[in-house]
Every structure is written in structure tokens, then in C-alpha cells.
Amino acid sequence: MNIIPRPKNITEGQTLQKGKPSEKKIYTNADGFMLEYVTGLFSRDVLQEEEAPFFFLQISDGFSLEMEHLPEILQDKEEGYLLKADAKGIVIAARSSKGLFYGIQTFLQLKEQGWERGLEIIDWPDNDIRGYHFESRFGIPKFERIIEIIEELCKYKFNTILMELEDKFPYEEVKGITSPNALNKEQLKEIIRYANDRYIEIIPLQQTLGHVEYILKKDDYYPMREVRSDAVNSELPFSFNPIGSLSFNEIDEFCPSNEEAYELIEKMCREMAEKYPSSKYIHIGCDEAWNLINCELCKARYGEQGFHKVFLEHTNRVARVITSLDKTPVIWDDMLRGFSEEEFELLDKNIVIMCWLYYNGDLDRGISLLTKYRESGFRVIGASSAKCCEGMSSDYLDMPNIKDRLININDWSELSAKFDLMGVLTTVWSNYTGTIAPPHPFFDTIWYPLLYSADKYWNTASDSQEFEKRFLENFFGVEGVENCFGNESEEIYEKTSFLTENCKRNKYIAEVYKFTSLLSIYRQKSMATYREMYKLYDGTPEREKAIVVRKVKELETMREYLKPEISRLLSINFNEADTKEFVNSRFLMDEMVIRI
């Protein structure tokens, strides 16, 4: 049985005699969307039966609901469910329609795998919030693909999406920011409806301090920036930061002393509240604002050491705006980590802290931070990562560092069990140097760690050792292969090629794994070749130069094979402009520089 997330309690019975599914009747007491959903799933009429003290779905020859009440352990579990299959048929029962929906997802996975034994499953989640971070800095998938992603997420019992659209959001009151490739308001409305129907809450994320390059790069908003000089405070005329002298760049942050910036922030937050009416929360960012107290206005107002003071004033001010809109403000936690007890007392207690820790070795740090936040009286959501800033090495730019991602998710599974968290969300970041960096990798490289997080946050006791086998059989319908998810090696390419050739489901994603593993190899070869290019021009002996020429030609051959495949895959789910930018970011400079 390869169910994701792994159910808590499973009792298996004997092999069942096969019957004709079309002969079975379907009974339920669900109504509204759930009735419509079940009718669509089975493509036939669903018979509504009398009320029961719980929600149910029965598939059998005739209606005979023998249960009078749910198992005691499910009585207070809103998302829990019972699934029972025996010779009489199948019964799914739950305290709520949401629990019934999750029981149906388990049933659909069993059906997909051809399960033929009797069984009883009693299951419920360990975390109330099990989230996924949808981030569109590189580009945004086509509308149809977003709907497909939501369908896949609900299959694995995610119930929250943190949606960070940036300039892909259809601003109306705020002018001059929205990208030509943005969602339109009707598409966004349909995405929210589709997700809400499937018990997924979408929380909008509107950055209000840092990471606002997409705004401040525009002429109308450039005067609202905090940084007024990129001078290096060093004896040397350069910095040691590989991405520049500033923490990100001079258009990364709003100036907290600029009232026009606050007028803009309030307008953007109001639009978020209007266009996400069903969300209880608005995430206001407030992370990595490391260039504060840079402009002369802020220095005069807050003093050279007023870093925490300006952050508190800004965060509380925006939080009050969110509260006035009948929403709960959420912020990232990194700027709070050095706060004293006295400073935490000054922070608005309506704020929910989203604590992000993404790296191997963060468990002890997480214990320390969560203890501090909880003792200070704040509600907390954890944040792990299926793809994040893992350095500038070419392999990790195009594939997640799987080993570290799984360790990170394990840590958050343990932290969520230890602390009274609201839940855990899995982030998927698209770049490593701010919001105007070159595009980061295909979204679809992250399904393995993302579904690992679905498994571990629903069932923190789930067995990690056998997850890859469950994932390969569940997601791709492939057996007899292992260790498929590394970064760059011939072996990984061969295994992902095997997936592509043999998968029964999700062939597109198998192809993404195959070609992005090859892209990682290409970029390693590109780096190695580039460092020898000088030999073509400095009088190096001809035989040694010929070795470099052969390397350049091999790289050209590999590029000629790989580039159209990457372009083909991207164009399936992204628009032409996003596809072109990604392809250029991987190949254009090599075409210009690494050539004979």
C-alpha cells in the first residue's frame, strides 16, 4: 500500500472478490460541492440518503449503513476519517465534509493502485495547517496548470497555499506594477474558488518592506526606496558579497520614513483583502530587510542603532492595517531573532509569526526560536523548504538538494510534534539573490520533497526510509528502481530516463526530472570549460589547446541537444516570454562566450 500521506491506523483483511464497479450504487448524505464532486468522480448518479450523525459515502449493492457513530478517536478530529472496505462494499465516514473529502482522496489512491484487499483505515492529521508556498518570481504557470497543481495538492491533503504573486497579481487600484503575464482578476477568482471548494485556503503574501524590487524598479516608485547610496563601507573599493555590496540591491526595500510608501502599501493590502475574501490571513512579508537605517531620513528619525525600533514601528503599523481589514497579519520571523523580551512585548500580539528554517543543522535553532516565540505569547506557523537558497553551485540551481531538503522536513516534523504550532508550510523558492535574479528552476522538480512534507506533516510518525518507494509507485506508477533523486550524475540521468520511459502517471514531471538532471550536468561542464577558455588566446601549445577545443565542441553538442528539450518542456506550462528568459539564462552566455 503506497498511500501518501501514510495513514495512521491500517488494518488489512482478506483478498476481496472482484465485482463490476458499474453495478455498485453510491450513497451519501453530503450536499453542495461535495455532492457535485462525488457525482463527477464516479460519472453517475449519487443517491442521497437519510441523515446520519456524521458525513458518509457508501459504495455497495444496496444501502445499509451499519455504523451508528464514528470511532471515539475521530469524535473531535475535523479532518479525520474512517475508510472501510469489505465484501459488502466501501464506506467512508467523517465528522465533517472536509474529513470525508480526505477519506475520498485515500480511496482514490487505493483505486488507482488496484488495491484488492479488505481493510480499515482510521486516520487524521497531526498538523492543522499543511501548506505549500506558491511563488512566481521567475514566472507564473499557465492558468490551466495552476488548476492542475491545486488538484494534485488536494490529492495529498494539503489544506493551505501561501500565494506570492508579486507583479503577477492583478492590481487595479495600484497602477504600473502588474506584469503583462499576470493573472487576470477572473482567473484569480476562479483559482480561489477551485481551491476553497477542495478545502484549501489561499493566503496572499504581499511584501511590505523588503523584496519589493518588482515595485521599486519602476520610475514612479523608485523614490520610495530606502537605499540612497551603494557605497561600500570598506577600505577596499568593492565588497566580498558575491551578489554585490548591499544585502540584495538598492531597490530591495521601501523607506519606512516615506509616507507615500505607506499609502502604496495600504492600497496593496486592501486589494489583497478584496481579492482574497475567504482568507483569514494576509502575509505581509517583512523578511530580510537588512538595509534599514540606510537613508538620511531614517538615520535622523531612528538613529544609527535604531534597527529594531524602525522594524517594530513598521510592522505594527502595517499589522494595524491588516487587522482593520478583518484579517490576521502574518510575518516571516528572521528580523525578530535578535529581539529582547522587552522588544517582543512591543510587537502587536495579533501577528502570527511564520518561522522559516531551511537548512541541515537547524533543529536546535528551531527549538530555541520556537521556545522564545511561544513564551512571548505568539502563535507560530513553521516553514520548511522543498527548494531554497542552497548556494550558487550549478547542480543545486536546477535540482533541489534532496538530502538536505528531507533532513529539513524531518526537523520540522519533529518540531511540529514538540511545540503547539498552528502547522507547517513548505516553501518553494525560485531564486537565490533577490526578486530580480535570473530565473531559478522548473517548479516541477520539487514534487518529491513537497510530497515528503505532505507525508511528514500529516503523520509525523510516518516511516521515512520507505518513502521513495511509495513516492515512485504512487506518483509515477513505477516499481523496481531507487535512488532516483540526486543532482548531477550519469546514474541519476539514467534512472530518470527509466522513469520517463516506464511511468504510468505524471510523464511530464518525469521528463522534467530527466532533463533538469542533464541540465545540471551541462552547467557543471560549462563552468569547467569556461575556466580553460583563456588557453585559446594566450599562446598555449596547440595540442593542449586542441583539448580545450574538443571540450568546447562537446559542450556545443550537448547544448544543441538539451536547449530545445528544455524549451519544449517549459512551453507546455509557461508563456513564451518566461520560457525564453529561462532558456537564455541557461544557454545564452555560453553561446556568446564559450565558442570557437
User: 3-state DSSP call for residue 525?
Assistant: helix
d(CA 393, CA 378) in angstroms, rounded, equals 37
How many CA atoms within 13 Å lie on the side-chain side of 423?
A: 18
Of 225, 376, 219, the closest CA to residue 292 belongs to 225
The torsion defined by the Cα of 510, 516, 517 and 519, in degrees rounded to 10, comes to: 150
Among 109, 108, 54, CA closest to 77: 54
| Residue 258: CB atoms within 10 Å | 17
The C-alpha cell of 329 is what? 497579519
In whole angstroms, give the CA distance from residue 509 to residue 507: 5
Q: What SS3 state is found at 160? A: strand
Would you state the cell numbers that stand for residue 354, as one nine-digit string? 511564520
- CA 497-503-507 angle, 5° bins: 80
Length of the chain counted residue by residue = 596
Do 574 and 141 touch, CB atoms closer than 8 A? yes
What nine digits make up the cell of 293? 537605517
Q: Would you call 263 a catalytic residue per the annotation?
A: no
Lookup result for grid cell 531564486: 431
Give dist(CA 358, CA 427) in Å, integer: 9
Q: Which helix (H) or strand (E) holds 297?
A: helix 296-302
CA–CA dist 527, 515 (Å, integer): 18
Instruction: Name which of 21, 26, 7, 1 is nearest 99 in CA terms.
Output: 7
Burial of 473 (C-beta count, 10 Å sphere; 0-12/13-18/19+)? middle
Which residues, in sequence order, are CB contacts of 359 under 8 Å at separation 6+? 404, 408
H-run or E-run covering 118: strand 117-123
What are phi and psi for residue 117, nearest 5 degrees?
-110, 155
d(CA 234, CA 240): 10
Give the residue carrying C-alpha cell 492590481. 171
φ, ψ at 314 (rounded to 5°)? -65, -50
Using alpha carbons, list the distances in angstroms from residue 509 to 19, 193, 394, 504, 567.
Answer: 34, 26, 20, 12, 14
Q: Are strands 9-15 and 117-123 parallel, antiparallel or unpaired?
A: antiparallel
Spot the catalytic one: 288, 390, 488, 511: 288
How many whole angstroms separate alpha carbon 302 and alpha carbon 287?
19
Which positions are catalytic? 288
